[in-house]
A and B are shown apart, each in its own frame.
Chain A
Amino acid sequence: MENTSKAMIKARNVNVYYDDNHAIKNVDLDISSGTVTALIGPSGCGKSTFLRCINRMNDSIPSCRITGSITLDGQDIYDKTIDVVQLRARVGMVFQKPNPFPKSIYDNVAYGPRIHGFARNSAELDEIVFTSLQKSGLWDEVKDRLDTSGTALSGGQQQRLCIARTIAVNPEVILMDEPCSALDPIATAIIEELIEELRSRFAIVIVTHSMQQAARVSQKTAFFYLGEILEFGDTSEIFTNPKVEKTKDYITGRYG
């Protein structure tokens, strides 16, 4: 962890409990901008839970309790003075199942800028929708039917629409919770390309079950096991030369 000074998000000694269930144990993790950080590990190891701590999506679960600190640009996101609504706009999220709003494609992308008051007039809003759709690589496919329902798109297009919707509010971090698990290989490849393109502008954290995907898209990889990070480092290092036996077993497919 040589570049901790550049890290946008620093998690220190994070513990998460669901009632008595200790889901995350003493996790330290640094996430830097310009990097894709992959969280891998067997099912139920806490990677999604950890991901949802970064934008406080776990707040809505009453039994969930979090200790330790997570900072975004040096600010503790669990501090009382932090506005959760703003935090979630700064730390956007793309979900496992594409979940566009049952509104038009345009309204899906324009929703975030509208509620946060980013556009002063409709021309500015049009511009935001245009750039967001273009960044997510969807513009050419939907430019003629912006008023059709977002739910009428194919699964891969829906997921890219969700990404466009997220980047329309100018987040600093994008969290992706298995964004390709509901998609076919072609749609997956398009999304992976997109992640590579977005990397320069956003810090991206991606949870994935696919080793190949983690190897393809990420620069850093954290291996979660039973709520702990067993190994964290450069992706190339982890996949070619894992230091921990468990990591090696997992990435070679002994279990998982």
Chain B
Amino acid sequence: MTDKDLTSKSPWTTEAMQKRLKKRYRKETAFKAVGLSGLLIGLCALAILVISIFTTGLSGFKETRLTIDVYMDPAIIKAAPDLDEDARIAHMAKVNHRALIRNSLRLSFPDVKSRRDIMALQRLTSNGARDEVRQALIDDPTIIGKTIPMNLRASSTVDMYIKGQISRDVAQSSRKISDKQLVWLDKLNAEGRIVKGFNWIFLSSGDSREPELAGILGAAIGSLLTLLVTLVIAFPIGVATAIYLEEFAPRNKWTDIIEININNLAAVPSIIFGLLGLAIFLNVFNMPRSAPLVGGLTLALMTLPTIIITSRAAIRAVPPSIREAAIGMGASKIQTQLHHVLPLSLPGILTGTIIGMAQALGETAPLLMIGMVAFIVDVPEGILDAATALPVQIFLWADSAERGFMEKTSAAIIVLLLFLVLMNGLAIWMRHKFEKRW
């Protein structure tokens, strides 16, 4: 037999085998294509979401201001000359700022005569403009009697129009801004008296009925306080439970039942946890309604299964040889856990915890049940103050009839996403920091 005979007889070189080989390649290519297209669809959806949120949301971080020459009329301010500082501030707060602005506007627009038109003229500015005049008076008493050019906050309608979200081609009856107001705005614009700037108030204040005065800080602090409570409650309990179940608990029917139930709890709809919080924390323990304390406790109940499950997986992933080594050295069970197993499983535990916290950050339903859905203007100062949370704030604004809240909704979503990205970044950083080889 020659070498040639050998190769010609080999099953690897037959035509049937070549066909099978081609078929296998085809299958692999098809599988790759399916996977890749799935990935692309996902990426496209994500891109559309992000683009749509950012295109509507970014304008929410900007505001429109009108430069008005405000005449600080001593007749309206009626300041007594020799008041001490506190009394002066108290007096400045009581001044009829509204009249100051109205009179100044009338001076700028001398042709506007009728009472109705003057009201409409005043409505170009926001209610918040009064606060700005008041602050100017408090800051500098020497301006009384002078005419000061001030950048006053425009009303939401003007803001919308300037941002191009209200079209002047629409009939007057179906837009919120009247033809007269448009003429006045044109005049201001021609004089360069319309300025756009960063909307600091959005980042520094609580909710408001007026879109141009509404801010995210109250909700953000509410979320922060709520998450703090959640973390303080859920992390130690979750990790302790995981260690107990994984290392100490006897394997019997009871622990099996507990294990199955923990796994099931992770899949329970979050609103049920809200009902639980309502029934237990509010109705039985009479805790304050709408408080981050209750929200945090409720979210802790919801987050616990996630933390327990991920922590158990992380603990289980520690090689048994490390435990044997420690026990073989005469380390007690708790020493083995604290010195070896816990440090090695910490990256996994922290990742799981942060994923659980991120989930809690985005949760709305349970907070609705315990009253964190209320309209709250003040920024909460403690875990017992009434507060709302970022996702709830988004829900509230999305539900709001005012058109100006649309961009605020998207802007709030951007803030929420930013928080989530930060938390995930933290998770990745911690995993790298604590990761050890063995």
Q: A residues engaging B (CB < 8 A)?
A: 55, 57, 60, 62, 85-90, 92-93, 95, 97, 99-102, 111-112, 115-116, 149, 151, 162, 165-166, 169
Contacts and interface: CB of A to CB of B under 8 A. Distances in A.
Contact of A88 (B321, B322, B329, B438): B329
B330 interface: yes
Given A102-B344, A111-B339, A151-B438, A89 B329 contact: yes
A60 B251 CA distance: 12
Given A100-B325, A116-B330, A149-B437, 18 more contacts: A60-B327, A62-B250, A85-B331, A95-B324, A99-B319, A99-B324, A99-B325, A101-B322, A101-B340, A102-B436, A112-B329, A112-B330, A115-B335, A115-B339, A151-B438, A162-B325, A165-B329, A166-B328
B376 interface: no
Given A102-B344, A111-B339, A89 B324 contact: no
Interface residues of B, number: 21
Contacts of B344: 102
Contacts of B340: 101
14 contacts: A62-B251, A85-B331, A87-B330, A88-B329, A92-B328, A95-B328, A97-B321, A102-B322, A102-B344, A111-B339, A115-B339, A166-B328, A166-B329, A169-B329
A169 B330 contact: yes
Nearest to B328: A93
A60 B331 CA distance: 14
A149 B438 CA distance: 9
Interface string B343-383: 01000000000000000000000000000000000000000
Given A101-B340, A102-B438, A55 B328 contact: yes
Nearest to A87: B330
A55 B324 CA distance: 12
A166 B327 CA distance: 11
B89 interface: no
A115 B324 contact: no
Given A62-B250, A102-B437, A57 B327 contact: yes
Closest 3 CB pairs of A and B: A89-B330, A99-B321, A93-B328
A28 B335 CA distance: 34
A97 to B, nearest CB: 6
Nearest to B436: A102
Interface in B279-334: 319, 321-322, 324-332
Contacts of B327: 57, 60, 88
A57 B335 CA distance: 16
Nearest to A56: B327
B324 A57 contact: yes
Nearest to A113: B329
Contacts of B321: 95, 97, 99
B332 A85 contact: yes
A88 B325 CA distance: 11
Given A62-B251, A149-B437, A95 B325 contact: yes
Interface string B238-253: 0000000000001100
Given A111-B339, A151-B437, A151-B438, A101 B326 contact: yes
Most chain A CB neighbours (cut-off 10 Å) among B324, B325, B437: B325
A46 to B, nearest CB: 19
A57 B329 CA distance: 11
B437 A86 contact: no
Contact of B329 (A60, A97, A111): A111
